Structure 1
Amino acid sequence: MQALFLLTLLASLVLAHGNSLRGVNPDLASHYSGHGGTFTCISGIPKTIPFARVNDDYCDCPDGSDEPGTSACHNGRFYCRNLGHEPRLLASAFVDDGVCDCCDGADETKGKCQNTCLQAAAVRKEALRGKIQLHEHMLKTKNDYVERARAFKEELQLKAPTIEEDIARQQAEVQNLNAEVTRLEEEEAARQAEIAAANQAAEEARRAEEAQQTAVQAEESGSGQGEDAESANTVDSHAEEVRGESQGEREETPEERGRRIASQWTNDPEAAAVEGQTEEHLNADDSGGDDDDGDEEGHYDGTMDDDTEGHFDYPDAGAEHTEYHAEGHHRQQRPDPSSPLGLARTAAFTAARQLQQLQKDRENIGTFLNRPIDFGPDDIFLALANKCFSSYQTRWTYEVCMFDKAVQKEGHSNSVTVGRWYGFSEDYKVMYFSGGDECWNVGPRSMTVYLSCGLDERLSDGEEPSTCAYSAKMTTPAVCTQAELEELQQQMVNLEAFENEVRAQIMKDEL
C-alpha cells in the first residue's frame, strides 16, 4: 500500500512539473519530468539534452519537442490550455508574435492579453443549448410518430371486418347519385332550350318592331320636305306609274320602299333601284325582298344595326352564372351550387371521394395488417407509410418510398426500379431495397439507405458506388434517441459546473 502511495505521489509530481512548463501538451507531460536532469527528444533520432535547455528559445531537437513554449522550432506545437473553453494546439510560429491566439492569452507574455475564454465558452454554451432544444423537439416528433402509427393501426382494425360491405354500399350510393345528376342535367338542358327559343322569338319580334318604326319615321320625314322634295315625289310617282304599268299590281317590297324613300332624300331617281340591278331587272323580279337584318339564308348574324354584337339576357339572369359563346350565340348556364343540380353534383363528388378512401383503406388493410412487415420499435416507421422522399442530383433523381420501392429517374420519362422493400438492419439505422430491375451482366439492382437523427425526413447523397448497387442518406426523427439527448445535457451540466472554478482561476492568474 505504501509503495502504491509513493508511485501515485511521484506521478503527481511529474505531471505537476510538466504542467509548469509553458506550452506543454498534457498528453506528453511525462516526457518533461526532468528526471535525471535531462530531456530526450520525443520522436525522430534519439537525442538527449540537459533539461535546462528546454524552452531556452533554441531548437535542439529535430522534432521541436524541446521548445514547446517558444517559437524557436519551425515544427513546434504550443498547447493552449484555454481553461473554461476548448484547448487547442498552436503552431509555435504564433507564440510571442504580439497577437493573442489563445483565449487565455498564454501564447503571449503575461498581462498582454485579456482572458476571453469565458466569452468563448458562453458562445459554445448557447450553441449547446440550441442543440438540446432541437433534440427535445425531435424526440417529441418521434413520440408523435408512435402515436400516429398506433391510431392508424387501430383505425384499420376497426374497418377491416366490414370493409367489403362498406365498399359495395358506397358504390351503390355513387351510382344512384350519378343517375340523379344525369336526370337533372337533362331537365336543365330542356329548360335551357326553352329559354333559348323564347329569347329567339323575342329578338325576332324586336327586330320586326324596329324595322316598322324605321319605315314610319322615314315616311314622316319625307312628307315634310319643300318644293324640291315635291318635285322628286312627282318624278318618283311617274316612275312608279311606269313600273306599275309594266309590273301590273305587284306589291312594293320593303327593300324597294326603303330605296324609294332614299331617292326622295337624294333627289336621285336611280337610288330607288336595287344595287347591281337595272330597272328591267326590278320589273322582271316578282319575288319579295329579304329582311334587311338577315343574311343570305335569312338567319340573324349576331349584329345590331350599329354593328355591335347582340346580347340578350335570360329571365332572372342575375341569379345564375352564364357563359356566352359567339359561335351560334349559345349560352350555357352554370347551375347555381345551391340549385338541385348543383347540390346533386356536390353530393356525387363527395360520395366518389368517400369510395376512393374506402378502396384505399382496403389496400392498407392488406398491406399493413395482413402482411408480416417490421415497422420498427412501437411501429414508429408506420407513420411514414405511403410516403416517398427524393434526392436530386446533377443528373439523376433518387426516390425512396417506405415499404414499397426505390427508383432512379432521369428527367420525367426515364426511370428504373433500383430495389423493392426488403427490411431494416437490426438497429434500424439502415433500410434495404433489393430485387430491383435487372442490370446487364450484374443481376437485380439494389439500394441501401443509411438513417440518422434529423429534424425531418430528408433524402440526400444518392449515388451508385458500384455497378447497379445504389446508396443514399436519410435523416428522420424516428431514429433519434434519448441517450443522445442525455449526453448533450451532461455536457451542459459539466460546462455550467466548471464556470465558477474557471472564474476563480482566471482571477488568480490575472493577479
Structure 2
Amino acid sequence: MHTRGIAPEVRSRYKSAIAEGTFTCFSSGHSFPSSRINDDYCDCPDGSDEPGTSACSNGSFYCRNRGFEPKVVSSPFVDDGVCDCCDGSDEAPGRCQDTCVAAGEQKRQELTRQVAEAEAGLQKRQAYVQEAAQKIEAWRKEAASLQAEVATLDAESNRANEARDRVQGKLSDIEKDVRELEASLVASAADGEPKEGAESAGAGAEEAGAEGAGAGAEGPQPPAPAPAEPADAVDETAHEEDAETVAALEEDSAEALDDYAAESAEDETEIDWHGRGTEPWQTLLRKGKELESRKVASVLRALASGSARTKKGGRSRAKSGPAAAEVSSPELEHLRMAAAALKEEAADAQKAAGAAASKLAERRRALGAAEARLKRVEEGQYGPDAAWAVLDGRCVAAQAGKYTYEACLYANAWQRDGHGGTSGTGTMLGAWAGFSNEAPGPSLAFADGASCWNGPKRSLKARYYCGAEERLMCEYSAVFHTPAACSEESVALPREALRRMTAGDDEGDEAKSPRAHDEL
C-alpha cells in the first residue's frame, strides 16, 4: 500500500478502507470506493481522501523525514516544485535530495544527551528518595529536641526575669530609703544651721531648750527658754552625749555592713534582702524617724554639719542649706554602698535576662522552621515519595544580563545587581508559594515579593525539568532542572523521539515507491 502523505496515527483507517473497498470521509460520513483515494480529485469536504496530493486546499501532507523530525505541510505545497520535506516526499521522486540525516545530526546529539541526562537524573532521584527519608527522620528528632530545649529555656528565661525583677524591686526600695534619709539629714541640717552673727548663742539656746523638753516626752516639744546654765556648758554636755550616740550608731552600722558582706559571700549571684524591715541599717533609720529626742536630732545635725564643711575647714553658709549629695552619716553611707552594689547586680540581672530571652527566641524560630518542614511532609509538598525534601532550603542561582537571580526552594527568590552579592539579599522576587500546574507547564511559584515602582508585587515562576543536577537557567522565564523532577517518562519521551529519528516508521520505504490513482 502506498502511504504517501498519510500520518501514522490515521494510517490504519486507510488500510481498512483499502481492504474493504470503501472509504468514508473523516468528518462528513460520505462514502465512496477506496480507489478514489489520492486520485488527485477532492471528494471529501475535509480533504481526507487526498492526503498525498494537492487536490484539496484544506488537506495536509505528512513528511516522514527519517533521520530528522516528522513534519506536516499544507496540501497546496505538494508537488509545487519546492522541497518542503527534507526527505523530498512532497515532490516527485528524484526531484529533491534527502537531507534529513545531515539536518538531524545536531538534533540526534541533543536527544542522545537528553536521554543520558534523564537516565542519570532518574538514578539520582532514587538516591534523593532514600536521603529524604533519613532527612525527615532527622527533622522529627530535631523538632522533639527543640521542643524540650524551648521548654527548658522558657523556664530559665522566666527565672531570669523574676531575678531581675526582684533585684530591681530591692534597688528601688533601697534608693527610696536613701532619698528619705538624705531628705531627713538635709532638713535636720537646715533646721540646725546657725544664723549669721548669733551662731553660738542660737545653737546653745536651741540645744538647751531641746534637752529640757526631751526628758520624759514622747514626741517633739516646742523650744523652752534657755536655762541658767551657761551655753558653753550646755554645748559641752550635748557634745558628750552626741559622741556616745554616734559611737553607738557607728557600731550598729558596722554590724549592718558585716551582715551585708556575709550575706553577699553566701550568694554571689543575688543578695538576699528578705526580711528587709529588720536589717540593722533599717532599724537605725526607723529609730531616727521614731525617736525625736534631742540627742538623735543633735547627732543628725552634727553629722550633717560635719559633712557640709568646706575643704578649708569652714562651714557652708548657703542660705538654702546643704544638697542631698552633700550630707552624710554612717548609716547613709552604708545605704549608698548597698545601693551601688545592687545597681551592679541589677545590670547583671538585666543582661542575663536579655541573653536568656534572645536564646529562647532563637530556639523558638528554629522550632517553628522544623515544625513547618514536618507540616510540608504531612501535606505532601515534597511529592509522593518526598524526594523534593532534599532540596528544602537549597539555593540555586543564574546570571542574566546585569542581574543574578537566586531561587531558594521552600524559602524566597531574589534578584541582585552584578555577579556577586550575598545569598538571600537584594530585591525579593517572592516567597515560596508552592508548585503550580498552570500553563505553560509545572513550575515552582514564588509570590508576594517587593512591590514594583508602579504598584504590583514581584513574583517568579520557574519551570522545572528533569536534570542530572540543580541549575537555574534564565531566559524570558526561569527554567529549573533537578533530579527531583525526573520520572520514567522523562527518559521515555526523548528516547522515543530518538528512535523515530533513527528508525523511521514501519513503512517508511514506501514513501519513494511510484504513485498511482488506485494506490495510497
What TM-score do the two structures reach when normalised by structure 1? Answer: 0.39
- Of structures 1 and 2, the one with the larger relative CO (CA 8 A, separation 6+) is 2
What TM-score do the two structures reach when normalised by structure 2? Answer: 0.38
